[in-house]
Chains A and B, each alone.
Chain A
Amino acid sequence: MSDLVIATQGLVKVYSKVRAVDGLNLSVQRGAVYGFLGRNGAGKTTTMKMLLGLARPTSGQAQVLGLDISRHRVEILRRTAFVGENKALYDQLTPAEMVRFTRNFYPGWSDAAAEKCARQLEIPMQQKFGKLSKGNRAKVWLLLALAQGAELFLFDEPTAGLDPFMNDALLKLLAEDAASEGRTIFFSSHHLAEVEQICDWVGIVDEGRMLLEARLDDIREHYRLVIAAGRDLPVGKTAPVVAAARNGQFSRYLLARDAEAFAARLRGQGAAVTQVSPMSLREVFLELVRKEESCTSGNAGATPAVAF
């Protein structure tokens, strides 16, 4: 448990009749760069809000840095840096004033890190926040987070609004500075390419449930798509099947490992296996969140990744 920086068990958040998060189990290892992926409304932002005490779980448990989120909110916030989704800050303050305002909250604040970040991201420090572009606003949030000296970074779509050049500069900052110092980065994004660029773990959520949590290297090396034609083929999610779907006489399987053995088993049941192919993160993501008839998906065979 001590190696987990974020751990949730059956986390649920219900807004009126909507289950924004529905029994989420999440495990983020210390030092990981974890990409939290999902479609719009999958529950990513709500999960982050619950981890930071901005929203209260309806049920379930969660620990951040080994501390219970419902009882140690301030201590968690002291050791965690956050970049929010909407990137709003005080319009009348300049980024330099925001730095002065924020640094007193954090004993581990680094002025050197703030200056480096401002320089690399080319932030106009003396311009009022209200007059900054959307991209520059995102950069100010990032500066305030990166200079805190936090153990854990929670970023909710940190690169939204940044141009490709700045996107790269930010990812470089994250990869070089934060990740290299053994800090944990947990960030949500829609950009699979940037997740592939810096992450070593990914979690894919949909409708508030964790569909897959695995090392990115494992996905690249072991995950396979198996397509088979035949009658009465299984569509269950027994390991190593992570997701299965049937469309007419064709069945699609996303396997976490042992794809060839699984294909041989299907052939043994009289199926014609038409494809066994490696998958990119993008393909895994699309396969998991695909909405098809008789589609089932689950975490089977994927967690923990070290078991592969």
Chain B
Amino acid sequence: MYFWKCWRDTRGCFLILLGALLAAGAFAAYVKFDPFGWIAAKPMDLRILWQGLATALLDTTAITVPVAGGLFLGALGVGMEFEKGTADFLLTRPRTRRYFLWTSWGLGAAQSVVLVLLGCLFRFARLGVRPVKGPGEFFRLLVALCTLALFCYTVTYLMTTLARNSRNGMALAILAISGYEGLYAWLRFWYEIKIPFFLDLLRTPGADADFSFTPVAGWLTVCLALMLVAQFRLDWAEV
């Protein structure tokens, strides 16, 4: 039942994000299939513009919606209970605190993956590359985006648990992610030291043979470590 309660808490946000993806997908489908012939009737340069717009929209939403989803869904984790004053109710139910933490995290993670999957499907449908036709490229993008979305989601989840507040948690997560980006840029461009960077997940070559699970596994390990910190924090939290 706690899973159901988590769904009730997050469904509004999830459905809005899903709606954004579906709207982008519908727009792209309209441009692609042109059921009323309106686009075909336009001059060539405008037709190209419409096609480019549809592709750009799908490319953008396929990445930004899961990342934004990570930030918003992460802010709706168990840390929010403290802000709402409901922590004393929830944490006096006969379950371990870990149960509440991992259940709510699991649902948000699943929602993030659904958003990624849908975004990837739309994108590939638009480009005409079917998963079965180009499994390497589809799989690589799917895994990379899932990892990226999970990372953003987990960072926000941790920060919300630490801050015991959704808004502060999200702000801290954005600060932490931006700070890491800044550190990466500073070390790379001033000292030519390259540290792992989550956006590199999207830059790996597309060929099947070149795909490496190492950075994915690395970032997933980071997510697990962040969740262990969140678990420790919640285990010791006083209401």
Contacts and interface: CB of A to CB of B under 8 A. Distances in A.
Interface of A: 49, 52-56, 74-75, 77-78, 80, 82, 84-86, 88-93, 100-102, 104-106, 141
Interface stretch (B1-9, B175-183, B191-199): B1-9
A89 B89 contact: yes
Which residue of A85, A90, A100 has the most chain B CB atoms within 10 A of its CB atom? A90
A53 B87 CA distance: 12
A102 B90 CA distance: 9
Contact of B94 (A54, A74, A86): A74
Contact of B89 (A55, A75, A80, A88): A88
B86 interface: yes
A100 B94 contact: no
A92 B86 CA distance: 12
A106 B95 CA distance: 10
B8 A106 contact: no
Contact of A100 (B1, B85, B88, B93): B1
30 contacts: A49-B238, A52-B92, A53-B91, A53-B92, A54-B87, A54-B88, A55-B238, A55-B239, A56-B236, A77-B94, A78-B94, A84-B89, A86-B85, A88-B85, A88-B89, A89-B89, A90-B5, A90-B84, A90-B86, A91-B84, A92-B8, A100-B1, A101-B2, A101-B4, A101-B5, A102-B1, A102-B93, A105-B94, A105-B95, A106-B94
B96 A74 contact: yes
Given A53-B92, A88-B85, A92-B9, 20 more contacts: A49-B238, A53-B91, A54-B92, A56-B238, A74-B94, A74-B96, A77-B92, A77-B93, A84-B88, A84-B92, A88-B86, A88-B88, A89-B89, A90-B5, A90-B86, A92-B8, A93-B5, A100-B1, A105-B94, A106-B94
A128 to B, nearest CB: 12
Contacts of A53: 91-92
A52 B4 CA distance: 25
A13 to B, nearest CB: 9
A54 B1 contact: no
A70 B95 CA distance: 15
A168 B101 CA distance: 39
A84 B85 CA distance: 10
B238 A104 contact: no
A249 to B, nearest CB: 48
Which residue of B9, B89, B95, B236 has the most chain A CB atoms within 10 A of its CB atom? B89
B85 A74 contact: no
A61 B8 CA distance: 39
A78 B94 CA distance: 5
Contacts of B236: 56
Nearest to A50: B238
Contacts of B89: 84, 88-89, 141
B239 A49 contact: yes
Interface in B43-61: none
Contacts of A77: 92-94
Contact of B95 (A55, A74, A82, A86): A74
B93 A105 contact: yes
Contact of A105 (B1, B8, B87, B238): B1
A101 B87 CA distance: 15
A56 B239 CA distance: 10
Which residue of A56, A78, A93, A101 has the most chain B CB atoms within 10 A of its CB atom? A101
Closest CB pairs A-B (n = 7): A88-B85, A78-B94, A77-B94, A104-B1, A54-B239, A84-B88, A55-B238
Contacts of B84: 88, 90-91
Interface in B1-47: 1-2, 4-5, 8-9
A55 to B, nearest CB: 5
B8 A86 contact: no
Given A55-B238, A84-B89, A101 B1 contact: yes
Contacts of A52: 92
A56 B4 CA distance: 30
A307 B155 CA distance: 59
Contacts of B2: 101
